[in-house]
Amino acid sequence: MSTLSAIQNRDIDHHLHPYTNAVKHRQIGPRVIERGEGIYVYDDQGRKYIEGMAGLWSVAVGFNERRLMDAAARQMEKLPYYHTFTHKTHTPSVELAEKLVQLTQGRMRAAFFTNSGSEANDTVIKMVWYYNNALGRSQKKKIIARNRGYHGVTVAAASLTGLAPNHRGFDLPLPQMKHVACPHFYREGKEGETQQDFATRMAEELETLILNEGPDTVAAFIGEPVMGAGGVIVPPETYWDKIQAVCRKYDVLVIADEVITGFGRLGTMFGSQKFGIEPDIMVLSKQITSSYLPLAAVLLGDKVHSAITRYSGELGTFGHGYTTSGHPVATAVALENIRIIEEKNLVENAARVGEVLQSSLRALSDHPLVGEVRGTGLIAAVELVADKAGRVPFDPLGKAGAAVYEAAHEHGLIVRGIQDSIAFCPPLIITEAEVKDMVGRFVDTLENVK
């Protein structure tokens, strides 16, 4: 402890951290990140790291984009805050709502703003319930999510999340939320099964669950086009078509949680485009402002939007919203951030440089510790195994990713450990040379993994 700096000790004394083991935090002390530049961040010891995770899958335009700072300052001077309740609005929120609808090529009709992805998914749950009440279907309220899916941490959103740490100790999930299997062929596929058979089986399992619960009680299915926090799981090609066919058959809404996949991550503006998903509701956050300011959006298709607006007219008001819904500075920054993504062709960059990331990581497939390399565009994961042929997990407690996460810092690299997998999700501005440097540092890190 005595080797820790004053700021580290003050942090330990008074700052309770999200997603952190508090005991370990006291032992090793926090790393103090002081500034950013491009794809790099620097700690208070002057050490430079490639931010291979774009923060938390967030920073599209890099860590010192002057245009976002200027956009925030301009809006701060003009109108630093105003709300959007009871028939008030302001230009940045209107322009952003319009822009988001336009980016979906008119598939979505309107945007509702929140501050975080969790609040957005909580909002979605309430909207789905409200929608079915509007249609007089008071029983149709259950929402189906997937094991290893991640949808946030508020009481209801955490109930959609399919990860044990988000339920353990919190008395969750809520009973209205159900889970089906994770579409991870490498781990969940059966002997002799093809990817297509596997996708069919996943859809059949969904149908069985809907039938067992009763179609009149199932309101929606939610999924990330590619799972992020659950370990970067890319589903088989036909998975989403088959899942959507089941949802349509039973009048179950399709919700695409694009909090990570939105704004170019997969090499298309939205992950839905890549997989032919036609969502009734879409959720966006993170790269919407490059996370320079907190913001999320729920996009509603016409069907849900018109039912909700009609019903709220009948009830007198739509009783939901946040003090900072559509915050003027956050929405102004989002607009500028999206302008940069478009002007610098960052979606195309994610597709092009993403191929380099995918091929450089796949070149590690023969490494004795590497079981699977997966990903698409600028998101990827490498899963470590103890025995390749038997696909035996590297660590019985699934802690290999955390060990590699720590070790990578010594090579100037920040990645993310997810059980025995290591995730990569660099800023969309990353160049080919920087991707190669990042993968090189990861290979150097692996040298010391035992």
Of 116 and 337, the one with the shorter C-beta distance to ligand PLP is 116
Taking CB under 6 A as the criterion, the residue among 118, 166, 419, 445 binding ligand PLP is: 118
Say if CB 418 and CB 381 are below 8 A apart.
Answer: yes
Using CB under 6 A as the binding rule, whether residue 224 contacts ligand PLP is answered as yes
Q: Indicate if the alpha-carbon torsion angle 207, 212, 217, 220 is positive or negative.
A: negative
Q: How far is the CB of 169 from ligand PLP (least distance, A)?
A: 19
Taking CB under 6 A as the criterion, the residue among 92, 152, 173, 427 binding ligand PLP is: 152
Cα–Cα distance for residue pair 152/322, rounded to 1 Å: 17
Kindly indicate which of the ranges 59-67, 146-154, 297-305, 423-431 contains the residues binding ligand PLP, using the contact rule CB under 6 A.
146-154
Q: How far is the CB of 334 from ligand PLP (least distance, A)?
A: 14
Cα–Cα distance for residue pair 367/293, rounded to 1 Å: 40
Cα–Cα distance for residue pair 431/352, rounded to 1 Å: 10
Q: Indicate if the alpha-carbon torsion angle 406, 408, 413, 419 is positive or negative.
A: negative
Kindly indicate which of the ranges 169-177, 236-244, 254-262, 299-307 contains the residues binding ligand PLP, using the contact rule CB under 6 A.
254-262
Kindly indicate which of the ranges 115-123, 130-138, 400-408, 437-445 contains the residues binding ligand PLP, using the contact rule CB under 6 A.
115-123
Of 134 and 330, the one with the shorter C-beta distance to ligand PLP is 330
Taking CB under 6 A as the criterion, the residue among 233, 252, 259, 288 binding ligand PLP is: 259
Using CB under 6 A as the binding rule, whether residue 257 contacts ligand PLP is answered as yes
Of 181 and 364, the one with the shorter C-beta distance to ligand PLP is 181
Task: Report the number of secondary-structure helices (H) and strands (E) in the chain.
Answer: 15, 16
- Number of other residues whose CB lies within 10 A of the CB of residue 204: 12
Q: Who contacts 417 (Cβ-Cβ below 8 Å, separation ≥6)?
A: 399, 400, 401, 402, 403, 404, 405, 423
Q: How far is the CB of 212 from ligand PLP (least distance, A)?
A: 27
Kindly indicate which of the ranges 9-17, 237-245, 253-261, 427-435 contains the residues binding ligand PLP, using the contact rule CB under 6 A.
253-261
Q: At what angle do helices 400-409 and 432-447 cross, to 10 degrees?
A: 110
Q: Closest residue to ligand PLP, Cβ-based?
A: 117
Using CB under 6 A as the binding rule, whether residue 151 contacts ligand PLP is answered as yes
Kindly indicate which of the ranges 96-104, 221-229, 337-345, 394-402 contains the residues binding ligand PLP, using the contact rule CB under 6 A.
221-229
Count of residues binding ligand PLP (CB under 6 A)? 15
Secondary structure (DSSP) of 377-439? TTEEEEEEEEETTTTEESSTTS-HHHHHHHHHHTTTEE-EEETTEEEE---TT--HHHHHHHH
**Long-range CB pairs of 98-106, under 8 A, 24+ apart, other chains included:** 99/335, 99/338, 100/284, 100/297, 100/299, 101/299, 103/269, 103/270, 103/338, 104/270, 104/282, 104/299
Of 118 and 123, the one with the shorter C-beta distance to ligand PLP is 118
| 3 state DSSP class of 178 | strand
Q: How far is the CB of 230 from ligand PLP (least distance, A)?
A: 9
Residue 128 region by backbone torsions, left for phi larger than 0, else alpha for psi between -120 and 50, else beta: alpha
Of 93 and 114, the one with the shorter C-beta distance to ligand PLP is 114
Q: How far is the CB of 272 from ligand PLP (least distance, A)?
A: 13
Of 61 and 259, the one with the shorter C-beta distance to ligand PLP is 259
Taking CB under 6 A as the criterion, the residue among 108, 202, 229, 351 binding ligand PLP is: 229
Q: How far is the CB of 215 from ligand PLP (least distance, A)?
A: 26
Comparing CA positions, the residue from 275, 429, 276, 228 lying closest to residue 347 is 429
Taking CB under 6 A as the criterion, the residue among 158, 260, 415, 418 binding ligand PLP is: 260
By the criterion CB under 6 A, which residues form the site for ligand PLP? Answer: 56, 116-118, 121, 150-152, 224, 228-229, 257, 259-260, 285
